[in-house]
Structure 1
């Protein structure tokens, strides 16, 4: 790569990280400032789409390299025909693509240009392309996109047209994958995770069973409580009836006492009357003699 090419790539990367609304003025200013052949090439740089600019922000944010590293791991798993590893990496890839697309949206919104749903979808396709295809990853990681990358639409020089400046031939240097010993250790750790997940699944099934039993026990307890409440209501009614009966007995006992007193009084009156009668009879008999 010539010095002019390197200079153009450097300026393009800086310009394409600016919000699209500021791109044209900044490009023209830099072109006039640098001048010469490089300046003329800078003046011809295309304004990026908002989605491409958001991907450039993501590259500068430093997180897209993780997606490319996952791509390498995915290829290793494919070469090894490691089904468990492929399944895990597939899930991780989908999660990472979605997370990076959200991060790009946050960066764009933070820079004053929120992404529409269509733009966010284009960003997600570019991130996915970087994970799946190393050639696309090399282009995207330049941070010089003027258009987003969709693997389904990559034909002819589409990738070259999507990148301002030079198109890299290979991925930039990224941290190497773990060596064999580290990979074995990782797989052992993953087996431990799977075993822990199995234990968790068993525990969750047991919890579900216990919860069902608890629900049944609560239902029985509710029914028993309903019976207790009904019995308590019956008892309350019976106690009231008993209290009413006791009160009636007390009234009748009072009436009985009053009647007994009346009988006693009447008897005394009878006795007095009989005594008076007898006395009167005796007086009458004495006067006649």
Structure 2
């Protein structure tokens, strides 16, 4: 029996009935034609409940899991490139997706008659999440041969080879890294998306500046019109004041001439009065002497 056949047998056992695992394992070991292979099969350890739930899901929902793990590839690329916008988006997708996949896996296990607790569902979700952080964990999850649950870690779970029955092996088509051209295309697409986002933000900022400039222009235009109207009014007032001033100057000249004439007339009248008084006095003196 070849190594690939050993992996196939292990995958069948790890997705089979959990309470019958030991009996089926021993039976398949006896059926092996080679003693060494039989010993390898007999050495397969019984999976934990959470690992078994993930194995069932990996076997029955292989395409769905493969799509999820491609999202894991994108998440790891974004982490490597420190692409903050992509990380935020993919992180939200990861949390929602792992929760949904864990619930679906639990439903499959329940349909097989296995009791799945809340803590088991949490362990299943953590195991699936581990595949989003580390490529080897993704291969382990997709293998359908997990022995125990995994913990999410960028460095990968410790002793991951020991977490997979029959060894980690090579990545399956569902979990193999995407071709270089595909990776390049995704990076170029993200770069183009960032360029579009940056351009959109630039347009938004430029539009805000334009709106501000238009408001300032409108305010300045209104102020110019108000001051222009005021200038025209002041000029009209100035013309009126200048005309009144000229008239007042002329009135002053006329009044000055009238004042001079009146002053001269007053002086003449004063002299005439003095003359009349002198004449009267002389007449009165002459009358007294005659008496």
Could you tell me the TM-score, scaled by structure 2's length?
0.58
Partner of 2:169: 168
Matched, 1:11 2:17: no
Counterpart of 1:183?
Answer: 189
CA gap 1:9/1:109 in 2 versus in 1, 3 angstroms: same
Shift of 1:134: 0.8
Cα distance between partner residues in 1 of 2:115 and 2:189: 40
Q: Deviations over 1:248-288 (max 9, x none)?
A: xxxxxxxxxxxxxxxxxxxxxxxxxxxxxxxxxxxxxxxxx
- Structure 1 residue 51, shift from structure 2 partner: 0.9
* Aligned counterparts of 1:19 and 1:32: Cα–Cα separation in 2: 19
What's the offset of the Cα at 1:174? 5.6
Asked if 1:46 corresponds to 2:36, the answer is: no
Query: Quick check: 1:72 aligned with 2:73?
Result: yes
| Contact kept? 2:21, 2:46, Cα under 8 Å | yes
Contact kept, 8 Å, 1:129 with 1:136, in 2: the verdict is: yes
Change (3 A) 1:180 1:102: closer
Q: 1:182 to 1:19 in 2, by over 3 A?
A: farther
Q: 1:141 aligns to what SS in structure 2?
A: helix
CA contact 1:64–1:127 (8 Å) conserved in 2: no
Cα separation, 1, equivalents of 2:72 and 2:144 = 18
CA deviation string 1:80-131 (max 9, x = no partner)? 4432221111100100110111111011111111311111111111001011
Local SS of the residue matching 1:14: helix
Secondary structure class of the residue paired with 1:90: helix
Distance 2:157 2:87 in 1: 28
Aligned to 2:124: 123
In 2 relative to 1, CA 79–130 (structure 1 residues): closer, same or farther, beyond 3 Å? Answer: closer
2:76 and 2:163 mapped to 1: Cα distance?
25
Distance of 1:185 and 1:156 partners within structure 2: 34
> Would you say how many aligned residue pairs link Structure 1 and Structure 2?
192
Indicate whether 1:136 and 2:134 are aligned.
no
Contact map agreement 1:32 1:39 (CA 8 A) in 2: yes
CA distance in 2 between counterparts of 1:181 and 1:41 reads 43
CA contact (8 A) 2:136 2:156 kept: no
Q: Secondary structure at the match of 1:119?
A: helix
Unaligned runs of 5+ in 1: 196-289
- 1:168 Cα offset (Å): 2.6
**Within 2, Cα distance between the matches of 1:186 and 1:108?**
43
Give the drift of 1:54.
0.6
Q: Which is worse superposed, 132-141 or 173-182?
A: 173-182
- Kept in 1, the 8 Å contact 2:48–2:148? The answer is yes
Q: 1: distance between equivalents of 2:176 and 2:30?
A: 33
Rg: which structure is higher? 2
Structure 1 pair 74–16 and aligned structure 2 pair: CA distance change class (3 A):
same
Partner of 1:20: 18
CA separation in 2, counterparts of 1:155 and 1:94?
A: 19
